[in-house]
A and B are shown apart, each in its own frame.
Chain A
Amino acid sequence: MLTITNTSENGSHILALEGEVDASNSVMIDEAIQKLIGDGSKSIVVDGQKLEYISSAGLGVFMSYLEDFEEKNVDFKIFGLPEGVLEVFKILGLHQLMNIYPTKEAAFNS
């Protein structure tokens, strides 16, 4: 089960993810990000505080937008990932390529 809540704050779009991301529902994230890019958003922040699990397919979604973000100058940030989930990002090496912050404040003040 995955719930995505879309809010907006200080000109940034916040995608709050709640639950587990696997192959079956990773499409939801893909669609959400796609829509924000399509709408011309320049700052996308993912709130991962309530993210319990992410599978390789879920990681694949974030990974696939890395080049788009760079091309379109989109500021992409993730914050609040629980330890287990952060570990998955780290093992794959994504933490070197993405802006991952421990808290919301850290994300917005950087």
Chain B
Amino acid sequence: MLLAILVWLALLFVDLVRLFGILNEMDSGIAIEFTWILEILFFLMVYLFYSYSISKNAKNEFINLIWRAASTGIFAVGVSALIFLFYGSISESRLSQEPFLRNLFYHINFALTSVFLISSALLWKHLILYQRSKRVVKQWQAYEFAMLLAMFFIFFNQNTLDYSFLFGLVLLVGLGIVLSGNLKWIPYLTFKEKWKSLLFLSIILLSCTFLFVQMQGYTDQVIYPVNLTDNLFLISLFGFIFSYALFSFLVTLFNLPTSSVFEQKLTEAISFQRLSQSIKPEENEEQVLDILMDSCMSATYSDGAWVEMGRNDYPEGFLIEQFLDSETRKELSDLIEESKVAKEWISENRPENLSPLAIRLDHPKFESVLLVPLIINKVPIGRMVLCKEVKDGFNKEMMNIVSTFVSQACISVENHRLLNQAILNERYQEELKIAQRVQKALLPTTLDHNSAFDLCAYSNAADEVGGDYYDTYKLSEDRFVLIIGDVSGKGTSAAFHMSQMKGIFQSLIQLNLGPAEFFIKANAALGKCLERNHFITSSIFLIDTSNKTISHARAGHVPSLYYQSQSNKSDYLGIDGLGLGILRNIQYEKHVEQKTFTYHSGDVLVLFTDGIVEAKNQKSQQFGFERLRTLLEVYHELSPIEIQSKIIDSLHSFVGGDIKIDDDYSLVVAKFN
């Protein structure tokens, strides 16, 4: 700015010197071109200053921009009016004829007019390029370039009014008018802002006219030796500022009546955005419904509304009312129930295809209502009713926007529910992991045995928790119990039954019962706590290492495998026995057997559950009893842990490495020394 003032002072000085020269009929020795160069420099300085100052406040609102132009205009007009008044008051004195003073004021006027024009042009630039496209930017650049050329035009035509001047003027004003078509910022003004901008624009128009007329006034007087204002640049700038202000003024004026519609659309867009933001888990869907109702009411200019939700989602019922009391709502509900159109609407469409329905009602206050079903996942979850005091108050556009709002809100609610479900699932997973740890703890960590036999065990559950069970118990120094069990089914219910089974077995073992007696008692106890269609299979082995005998019983469990070292053969221990919990009365006694045999060194006993023999490969073949029996015959010489891992490895390679075995399976291997 300082630079611009300096240039202006230099310009003033040079011109005054020239004037002095002319008055005294002397040649001041300063060419007229020097003035023009200074003038161009002045324009450029002002341009640079304003483009810097405007871009610094890039966040300027439109209305502020226009105000800036208007205020500069007022200032320029005010100053020149003061000068005019000043001359009016001293018109009689000699001072009024003083050419130096006149020229000084002329320069001041010139400077302020230029500042007003250039700053306005830059503000217009901001407005024109509000929604910039490549085409508009190109146009603007062309205009700026043409204006730059216009500044230098003065060198060619020596300040005379000839055809080239007119041609340039027409060209530049034409370009300015083309640019004036870019008025995309106007619709974004609110109603109030439009009024303000109308005022400011009229100020700009008036100042523009005043300054132009005043400038033309100067031209005709011979007293001014240097004509700064008959400049193509300034005149075409006048044209541009004026035409853009005029266009803006007219467009704003004609936009006034429709501005409320535009504002409405903008509100709708914002409502839509609010609805589509997914609800956070800790928030609830009632808030979405609230927003939905508010948005729909404002979109349809409704006088009242309510939302009611179905009993499935809200057992205690859910209702929000807006601008109507529950009595009116009841009256309206009853009227809707009775309405023929509404009945047909409900009966003719499937719930998921229902679209909003507008009906007339015979109600003293509300004469038309809009029924809007709320549908999630093709299931109606409730409805919204919008009421208006006028007849037929809902047009097609309103119904469309309401439909859009509703479907968006329903999606939000659905997303919210899914998210909650996912969180719940996550929690269940956590709980299952805990259950898994608890269940693992139900299986023995150390296996009771003495030096007469070695023992190892393994269990694997298909799901997080399973229904397989094995246990050992030390009755005395040389008497031990091995037990294996399997609850029907798998998963959580099996796991619960398994823990009941462990409790019952652990209590009964201590009674020192025979194997058959043990199962009779266990059946009686389990019969009372198992679900009707669940049962348990089990095998029990009592090992007496002093007598080298094993007595055992089987309750519906897969027969255990026994390798006899004397015959070098393995075989299943066939013995009759009914599963536990199948017959829940005294008759069970008839269905359980007990056998005792002597074991020898090198004999191997393998207890397992049906998950092993029933494991299937891709061809749907079962692992089967025979495969297991042969395995034991082959690997009987290995230690129990080695036999166990051979069996498990072979099971996995049979099923196929990648396939998960879809059942619980367990294995207990005992080898006698």
A binds B: yes
Listed in ascending order, the chain A residues whose CB lies under 8 Å from chain B are 23, 30, 52, 55-57, 59-61, 63-64, 66-67, 84, 91-94, 96-97
Q: Is B648 an interface residue (CB 8 A)?
A: no
CB-CB under 8 A from B555, the residues of chain A are 93
CB-CB under 8 A from A57, the residues of chain B are 488-489, 533
Q: Is B102 an interface residue (CB 8 A)?
A: no
Q: Give the complex CA separation of A84 and B626 in angstroms.
A: 13
CB-CB under 8 A from A93, the residues of chain B are 555-556, 576-579, 582, 591
| A96 touching B591, Cβ below 8 Å | yes
| B558 touching A97, Cβ below 8 Å | no
CB-CB under 8 A from A59, the residues of chain B are 488, 535
With contacts A56-B488, A56-B610, A57-B488 known, is A92 near B622, CB below 8 A? no
Q: Give the complex CA separation of A55 and B558 in angstroms.
A: 13
Q: Give the complex CA separation of A42 and B549 in angstroms.
A: 50
Chain A: minimal CB distance from B79 (Å): 93
Listed in ascending order, the chain B residues whose CB lies under 8 Å from chain A are 486, 488-491, 532-535, 537, 555-559, 576-579, 582-584, 591, 610, 620, 622, 663
With contacts A84-B622, A92-B579, A93-B579 known, is A64 near B488, CB below 8 A? no
| A63 touching B535, Cβ below 8 Å | yes
Complex A-B: 25 CB contacts under 8 Å: A23-B491, A52-B620, A55-B489, A56-B486, A56-B489, A56-B535, A57-B533, A60-B488, A60-B489, A60-B533, A63-B533, A63-B579, A64-B532, A66-B583, A67-B584, A84-B622, A92-B537, A92-B578, A93-B556, A93-B576, A94-B578, A94-B579, A96-B591, A97-B583, A97-B591
| B533 touching A64, Cβ below 8 Å | yes
| B559 touching A92, Cβ below 8 Å | no
| A60 touching B578, Cβ below 8 Å | no
Closest-by-CB residue of A relative to B556 is A92
Closest-by-CB residue of B relative to A59 is B488
CB-CB under 8 A from B537, the residues of chain A are 56, 91-92
Chain A: minimal CB distance from B5 (Å): 91
Chain A: minimal CB distance from B587 (Å): 9
Q: Give the complex CA separation of A66 and B585 in angstroms.
A: 12
Closest-by-CB residue of A relative to B587 is A97
| B557 touching A91, Cβ below 8 Å | yes
Interface of B is mostly: loop
Closest-by-CB residue of A relative to B576 is A93
| A91 touching B533, Cβ below 8 Å | no
Give the most central of A23, A63, A64, A84: most B CB within 10 Å.
A63
With contacts A56-B610, A92-B537, A92-B556 known, is A97 near B578, CB below 8 A? yes
Chain A: minimal CB distance from B615 (Å): 12
10 nearest CB pairs, A to B: A93-B578, A56-B488, A64-B533, A60-B533, A92-B556, A57-B489, A64-B532, A92-B579, A60-B488, A63-B582
Q: Give the complex CA separation of A63 and B588 in angstroms.
A: 14
Give the most central of B489, B557, B576: most A CB within 10 Å.
B489
Contact of A94 among B557, B558, B582, B610 (CB under 8 A): B582
Q: Give the complex CA separation of A57 and B534 in angstroms.
A: 7
With contacts A60-B533, A67-B584, A91-B559 known, what are 14 further pairs, Cβ within 8 A? Answer: A23-B489, A56-B486, A56-B488, A56-B537, A57-B488, A57-B489, A91-B557, A92-B537, A92-B579, A93-B556, A93-B577, A94-B578, A94-B579, A96-B591
Chain A: minimal CB distance from B174 (Å): 81
| A96 touching B578, Cβ below 8 Å | yes
With contacts A56-B610, A91-B557, A91-B558 known, is A61 near B533, CB below 8 A? yes
Q: Give the complex CA separation of A57 and B555 in angstroms.
A: 17
CB-CB under 8 A from B534, the residues of chain A are 60
Closest-by-CB residue of A relative to B555 is A93
Q: Give the complex CA separation of A66 and B579 in angstroms.
A: 14
Q: Give the complex CA separation of A55 and B613 in angstroms.
A: 12
Closest-by-CB residue of B relative to A62 is B533
Q: Give the complex CA separation of A24 and B583 in angstroms.
A: 24
Q: Give the complex CA separation of A59 and B622 in angstroms.
A: 18
CB-CB under 8 A from A30, the residues of chain B are 533
Closest-by-CB residue of A relative to B490 is A23
Closest-by-CB residue of A relative to B467 is A56
Give the most central of A30, A52, A61, A93: most B CB within 10 Å.
A93
Closest-by-CB residue of B relative to A20 is B620
CB-CB under 8 A from A56, the residues of chain B are 486, 488-489, 535, 537, 610
Q: Give the complex CA separation of A94 and B577 in angstroms.
A: 10
CB-CB under 8 A from A23, the residues of chain B are 489-491
CB-CB under 8 A from B489, the residues of chain A are 23, 55-57, 60
Q: Give the complex CA separation of A94 and B488 in angstroms.
A: 14
Closest-by-CB residue of A relative to B537 is A92
CB-CB under 8 A from A52, the residues of chain B are 620
Q: Give the complex CA separation of A59 and B535 in angstroms.
A: 9
CB-CB under 8 A from A61, the residues of chain B are 533
Contact of A60 among B535, B576, B583 (CB under 8 A): B535
Give the most central of A56, A67, A91, A96: most B CB within 10 Å.
A56
Chain A: minimal CB distance from B477 (Å): 35
Chain B: minimal CB distance from A32 (Å): 14
Q: Give the complex CA separation of A69 and B360 in angstroms.
A: 62
Chain A: minimal CB distance from B593 (Å): 10
Closest-by-CB residue of B relative to A60 is B533
CB-CB under 8 A from A97, the residues of chain B are 578, 582-583, 591
Q: Give the complex CA separation of A96 and B587 in angstroms.
A: 12
CB-CB under 8 A from B532, the residues of chain A are 64
CB-CB under 8 A from B663, the residues of chain A are 55
Q: Give the complex CA separation of A96 and B559 in angstroms.
A: 17
CB-CB under 8 A from B557, the residues of chain A are 91
CB-CB under 8 A from B583, the residues of chain A are 66, 97
| B582 touching A66, Cβ below 8 Å | yes
Q: Give the complex CA separation of A60 and B530 in angstroms.
A: 11
CB-CB under 8 A from A92, the residues of chain B are 535, 537, 556, 578-579, 582
CB-CB under 8 A from A66, the residues of chain B are 582-583
CB-CB under 8 A from B577, the residues of chain A are 93
Q: Give the complex CA separation of A93 and B553 in angstroms.
A: 13
Give the most central of A23, A52, A60: most B CB within 10 Å.
A60
Chain B: minimal CB distance from A24 (Å): 10
Chain B: minimal CB distance from A52 (Å): 8
